Amino acid sequence: MGGSAVIMPKYKKRGVMHIMYTAKPFAVAICDDAVQDAKILEKIIKQIITECRIVKYTRGDQLLKDLKDQACQYDAVFLAICMKEKNGIETGEELRKIDEKLPIIFTSVSDEFYREAFDLYAFQYLLKPVTYMKVKAVLDRMGALEEPSVYFRYRARIYTVKHSEIKYISSSLHTVNFHLINGNTLHCRGKLGDFEEQLQGSSIIRCHQSFFVNLNSIIGMKSSNFILDDTAIPISRTYVKNVQSRYLEHLKKENR
What is the per-residue pLDDT for 155? 80
Give the number of other CB atoms < 10 A from CB of residue 220: 10
In the chain, % of residues over pLDDT 70: 89
Could you report the per-residue pLDDT of 222-242, keeping only the tens digit for each? 889 999 988 999 999 999 999
Q: What is the number of residues in the chain?
A: 256
What is the per-residue pLDDT for 11? 38
What is the per-residue pLDDT for 146? 72
Distance of CA 245 to CAs 146, 199, 207, 215, Å? 25, 17, 12, 12
Q: Would you place residue 6 in the very low, low, confident or very high pLDDT band (cuts 50, 70, 90)?
A: very low
Using alpha carbons only, give the angle 129, 133, 139 rounded to the nearest 5 degrees: 100
What is the per-residue pLDDT for 156? 78
Could you report the per-residue pLDDT of 108-142, keeping only the tens digit for each? 999 999 999 999 999 999 999 999 999 999 999 98
Q: Would you place residue 71 in the very low, low, confident or very high pLDDT band (cuts 50, 70, 90)?
A: confident
Peptide bond into 129 cis (omega under 30): yes
Residues of the chain with CATH 3.40.50.2300: 27-141
Using alpha carbons only, give the angle 101, 103, 109 rounded to the nearest 5 degrees: 140
The overall average pLDDT reported for the chain is 87
Which of the pair, 98 or 249, is modelled with greater confidence? 98
Q: For 146-166, what is the mean pLDDT? A: 84
Pairing verdict, β 149-154 and 157-162: antiparallel
Lowest model confidence (mean pLDDT) among 14-28, 42-56, 175-189, 214-228: 14-28
User: 95, 25, 94: which is closest to 54 by C-alpha?
Assistant: 25
Which of the pair, 19 or 158, is modelled with greater confidence? 158
Contact 186, 178 (CB under 8 A): yes
Residues of the chain with CATH 2.40.50.1020: 147-254
At 144 the three-state DSSP class reads coil
Q: For 154-176, what is the mean pLDDT? A: 90
What is the per-residue pLDDT for 15? 42
**Domain spanning 27-141: CATH superfamily:** Response regulator (3.40.50.2300)
Lowest model confidence (mean pLDDT) among 4-8, 76-80, 91-95, 179-183: 4-8
Q: For 82-101, what is the mean pLDDT? A: 95
- Domain covering 147-254 in this structure, CATH number: 2.40.50.1020
For the entire predicted model, the pTM comes to 0.58
Q: Would you place residue 22 in the very low, low, confident or very high pLDDT band (cuts 50, 70, 90)?
A: very low
